[in-house]
Structure 1
Amino acid sequence: MRCKVLVYVVLLTLIKHVSPTEIHASPNTNATLPCNVTLPPSEIDKSLIEVSWISNGSDIASFRKAVTRIKEGFSWNTSDFVNGDFSLTILRASLSLQGVYECTVSENSTTLHSSNVTFSILASPTLSIPEQWVVLETESQLECHADGFYPPPVSFSWTRDGQVINPAYQVDGEQTAVGYYRAVGNLTFYPSREDQNVTFGCKVLHSGSYQELEFQVNITYLPSVKLSTVPSSSNNIPLTLYCDVESFYPEEVSVSWFQNGTVLPEPPGTEQNPDGTYRTRRYYTLTPEQREQGGKVECAVNQPGVKQPARSSMYLNEMVPRDEAPVLTKSAKASVAMMCISLVLVFLLCFGFSWRRRDEKQKSLSVSGIILPPHVIVGQKGRVTVSIEGRRVDRVQTAWFLNDTPISDTSLTGTSKANFNCLYNPLTTIHLPYGLTLTSPVSEKGPLLPSRAQMGYYKLHTEGPLHSSGSGTQQLISSLTFIPQISIHKGAVFKCQVSYAGKEKIVVERVSEKFTILSAPEVSEIQLAETPNDPDVISLTVQASQFHPDVITFRWFCQGGELSPVASQASSSPRPNSEGFFSASSQCKLPRSELEMGGTKVWVSVHHIALKQPVTCETRGFIKRPCVSEIVRSTSSPDQALTLGCEITDFYPPDITVTWLKLREGERDDREEEVIEGGEMWGPMQTHPRLFRATAILMRRPTIQEKKERGGGIVCRVEHCSLQEPIERHWRNADIVAPSIPASISVYWSSEGVGVFSLLLKGGHPKVKLLWAAGGPTLSPLVSNETEEIGDDGQRELKSVCALERSTRPPSRTDKQLEKRKNGHAIKTKAAVTDPDTQGIDYIDEKVDGENNNIDRDEETKSDLYEDSDEEREEDSGALHINRVNLTKGRRENERTRLRVCVEITHPALKLPVYRTWTEPNEEIAST
């Protein structure tokens, strides 16, 4: 009891009363609220630790009796509690989460620590300056917009070429609907000619940080305007006026004409003065009727940034004096009459001829309406088509419009138009002689642009002219392929204008009907959450986004019948986003008892006109499928106790079963006695709300029989209510150990020049692989023999032997027969394999040395037959194969290249292969 009291006294002396801390974070970022306690070095019972976080009288997180409760939108790491770290993390910080957070840590009702943390949002402003025109030497204002900052206020200051021209002043700004602030700073000044192309800057100070946005102003120079008239001798002919506009800037200017305050319809051109300003003269011709009206005529010049246009006006009575009507003689009157009659006749003839040609052209063409696709889907290509029939459709050209905007071919993006040796027309297909047409080289099967791309995709193509039978008419099909985008094509119509090549006059125009664009919804998984006021009720929510049009239906079902949603944005018209797509959600509620253990299956069916089949999502409540890691071994020596571990994470509910099984030769043995006892499980421990993790551990010592077998293995079988079949992880009972490799190759030469090369490797698992090769500058693979035995020390011994004969001449028929005989009879004894250094190895070439030079054809045939016989092969199954290596001659006469013999040793325990090489000494080359 005294010890316990002393521990409490020590803990009380360690209590720290920390002064309030301020934590700032940017919107939508994570922020950690610190709460650290210095714990005594002695072990503390974690079950007695209690932690709580409170803000504005509401419980945020708590840890009592090893049970964690934490509000959605917050997280902490309970594994850090043993280190005295009880910090809380705010996920996706927002304005609603600001305030004072209080952290309290206690043990067995004794307070160890209490501190306050003030959390607030710090959002920097976004600067923008609307493009403004200012008038030369006239009072003008510039605006600097600071949007999306928090908290207020901000300070504005203005600079010109880096020099401050307006000291800083503070603006509180106004709060937006989402809670952030925006403010506008103003600069009033009188622009001069020196301000042209000068850099101005808007500096904004917010919470100790500076931002600056530089820009240049556009200055407008006001013109001088003078209205004049072209002299005329009669009031019965049209009157031409002109308006001189001088010394203005920039070049863009528009001139409007008024008569008695009413705008007169349009006419144009500007010229540049030496001082950089522009001048233009605009004419306007009044009809006799307008001239007869008389009154006041004005010329008004409008410029960017100017509220009141520059004007010049005159009265027609003052501009055009009324002269007395001239008196004509009878002969003059007759001449004038004859001239008028001639002009009228010529006009009538030209008009009739023109009308006849126009009528013939229009009557000769039959243009269909615009054919729309049955379904227009976002991101998928659609085609609109017009069919034109007539006798001369090869001279017809078409132009396509979206509403009244001309459409150009964007499918050739990235292709140089210089590759074509002919005229390129982006609006029509190119017509070549003899009725041929040039179509776009881009295939429509190419990759589509993204469904929400900023640039529209259009491909214009023409088929024809196609000759129809009988009547001699031709058919031309003009098509437009496009990828629908809601922001561009919603509520739009296509227009096709038909005209003749080289003519501006439109013969026929067709306009399509409005079409509906479809976009299938993207449906989220069902999200489960506790109801704030009633923790025994669980809300299930599903989101549908990026769909069009806005009509969508959610239907909820559970085992036994259909459910009624408690909240749904689909019941009212959803609002579109900036791209024109709609989003909606639907919510359903069920008791926690039905969802807690996955007892009730719930699914939702989403119906939309763009879907061929409804989209269905389902859930079984809070059940989470476990993730099982591979089996990890903690010891490397086969003589030590075997410790195997397997991590099981992210599962719910916490009830989980682990069984360890023993495998034999890789096959599962389901007998009851093969289940391995002694397995342990640490946990389950809660890591997040409704998430647990555990560790399965097996400790055992392998038996002598298992060490010898080096096969089979162990299985970790995990069973959970979320799994239809158990999850199994296998560990093979095989130790990877590198063999012992000698430093060099052993060599023995026979009297006939046959070399026996050998290598003895000890230990290692699994079996090592060897590859022999020999030659001069280049190597060729060889045939070798391997035998495996258990040595006196109990280790595995692998002996590899390779025999070869060297030569400097290409193999002849006799050599091939001799080699065949050596390969057939080879080295008669197995001693060369088991121990190549054994004295008295009997080689067939040594025993019948004199006979080898007198072999006749019959003996060769017999030898071949003897070699191919099964009995002899069985008798010589342990014989050593003799390889033949042909060495090339060197640069000098009677000199050959040096023989190299190499063996490559590969094993899983070796990161790289190991090589052992024998090179023929120089004295042996000289002796041979």
Structure 2
Amino acid sequence: MQFKVLVYVFLLHLINNATSTDIQARPNTNASLPCNVTLKLEKLDEALMQVSWVSNGSAVALFKNATSQIKDGFFWTTGHFLNGDFSLTVLDVGLTLQGLYECTVHYNFTMLHSSNVTLSVIAPPSLSVPQQWVVLETESQLECHADGFYPPPVSFSWTKDGQAIQSPYQLDGETTPDGYYRASGNLTFYPSRGDQNATFGCKVNHNGTTQELKFQLNITYLPTVRLSAIPSPSSNSPVTLYCDVESFYPEEMSVFWLQNGTVLPNTPSNEQNPDGTFRSRRYFTLSSEQRWTSREVACAVNQPGVAHPVQASGNLEELDPQDEPPVLTKSAKASVALMCISLVLVFLLCFGFSWRRRDEKQKSLAVSGIILPPRIVVGQKGRVSVSIEGRRVDRVQTTWFLNDTPISDTSLTGPSRANFNCLYNPLTTIHLPYGLTLTSLVSEKGPLLPARGEMGYYKLHSQGPLHSSGSGAQQQIIASLTFIPQISIHKGAVFKCQVSYAGKDKIVMERVSERFTVLSAPEVSEIQLAETPNDSEVISLTVQASHFHPDVITFRWFCQGGELSPVASQASSSPRPNSEGFFSAFSQCKLPRSELEQGSTRVWVSVHHIALKQPVTRETRGFIKQPCVSDIMSSASLSPGQALTLGCQITDFYPPNVTVTWLKVREGEQDDSEDDIMEGGELWGPMEIKPRLYRTMATLRTTANQEKRQRGGGIKCRVEHPSLHEPIERLWKNVDIVAPTIPSSISVCWSSEGVGVFSLLLKGGHPKVKLQWTAGGATLSPLVSNETEEIGDDGQRELKSVCALERSTQPPSRSPKLRGGHRIKTKAVVTDPGADGIAYIDEKEDGENNNNVEKYEDTKLSDVDEGSDEEERRDGDCGALRINRVDLRKGSRESERARLRVCVELTHPALTLPVYKSWTEPIEEISSM
């Protein structure tokens, strides 16, 4: 027993500290994870050993009580345990087996060893360059595919005869279904004759190892094609054409013949030139029938790698002119005689159908294809047109379709008088106190314009008939359709034009346009600079492009003449359109903060899009942050002649160079023009509050001059910084706070139609007092009022506030409780609001009043939307007063009505608490109603 205790004590000195090892393995290979312990005992008991391997919290191998347990895909040799080797072998390594593995070794419940092994998969890429043909001295593109690599990224570069022709650039690539990555590098160049036997190389660097795939180009030389004809004895005999194809490469090529656009068969024959190129002459014989039906013939050459065949074309009359009159043989003369007899018979048999054929001939039309504009841009008018030529084009009509939907003319032809009824309705005016007026319409508003459809803007028009350049009997018209493109309507659409005669249902011809692309130029933001969340020493530069179509857009970043690689971009993948069909994308690159903070590093981005005639460029010269400028603060109110200190705080700006200027604004000037620069300004700081963020305080010491404190004057603080296009300015008004003079009661005027005008006159005070009118019965609701400001005879400022209301006892469902925007029709003048008691706006004719006053129509109310610009123009007077409608419900008994209460709240900085003035309807007024 004592011996075992000594052994355990000895084993405690053998415990190794935890170690960490990184193991890299290629896919589908075996990897050995080491775990070795130095055991100095001569004899060990396996039953006391406990070994475990754990990955991601789960045991993959366990040895305990001399029994081994191990998962599939792993292997270890228990016979090596007594030698201290507890290594674990991972079979057929894959991506799912990556991670951290922990090995622990215990002996008799005592830990002898603990180590960590990180297993990672390194998969080099497999390179391939699709062999493709390129055309000599034509823009071509090579692709290099790197497949099955892990982890990303990879770096691509291109070489020619061992010399680098493109600098390396990194790509992360895209994930394949099996978890690995693939990426493609491109090389755009113009092949020359010197590239024929040159060796190109695609070099890919991954995880410190470099692979290069070398290949040679297959270059196609475009031929020179010339078409000729072997002279024939007459125009009725067959004609043989031949096509000379010269200076082409490689030998593999094919020639095909076309007659009026239809492909004809041919027989190949090639010969080699001394310079290694080939030449060939191809023949084709047209029969007499083909010759009569042929207007133009062409010879086209197909070559590998060429998208559009090289061809030569010509007219038979020019290729094989027949200048000399033909000499007829005996057989020809017999044929002519038989032909004449046949013609006479045919003429006699078909004479009855001649008039119909002539009519059909007169009606025959030649309609061109639909001509699309070269560029179709959103919001800009575009025009599509067709040309129609014939003898009776004056009777032709056209019908246009967008896809299969008929198009009608939706352009504005002119407003109807019904839409402008307000111009023919007389306005009436009521004059109120202090120059205010009430104005309304006599009749209701006119109807609104009819709602537009969702087809967009279209205008149909035609030009002609015009005399064509051919026969004098032929005429020509041009039918056009002008439209304003919209993404939601015209994306992927086609125009269709159907031609028919007026009064006929039969469609003579139909033309369908090609599908067109609607363009919209991107709106590009300025470059936004921000710190990277994980690394404050790296600045990310981001530019946003929006409102563009189609979705293909390219961002190219540059720095001092060198091109940068974007680190994140939504332009490479297809962005999703918004609800209007437009696309948005952004691009980002990163640079060290030290380069941008110098202020001289020029970084710019060039945005390319098919809708742009020239790329849009945005530029920045360094990392800068605009300052935040507070309002001007001042010391407490001082007596005249004492010192006054003003302060303006400027925070969160970079770089630290900031300029502050104090200006004096001329007093009493409406335009607040600036005067001389004021002396006494000081700048405290700048002080760095955070890394590369500063703050400062600008102060100004001056003297308070009570005599010059007038309205309109003040002191201005102007802040200039490299990040600002325009300076930031803050204005301090040099005025005192004075309470206004408030009257003891509210002045009230009533019209005979139940409209009450409540007014309040306030004198003096600064700044302007705030008023809130309310009215109601048991509860009060806010009202709309009108305030005007003038200078009185005593030189003091006078603020006049007027509020008009109409009381109503109708249920709320018929009349809202408070509804602004009513105007009353009357022409009488309001009596003096300062008179005692209640005065009326309109005087009625009765037995007690003998004044001959004109009696006007009853009051008419019309709804006017509050804040409407059209109503303000219609009023012609900005002082027009709105009428508030107040609903007064009845009391507990049907004969009772709630008393009307009107209250106004006045608030001002000089007043400790708000001041309230109220008016309550007398009881006798309610009983008399």
For normalisation by structure 1, the TM-score amounts to 0.35
Q: Which has the higher helix share?
A: 1
For normalisation by structure 2, the TM-score amounts to 0.35
Higher relative contact order (CA 8 A, sep 6+): 2
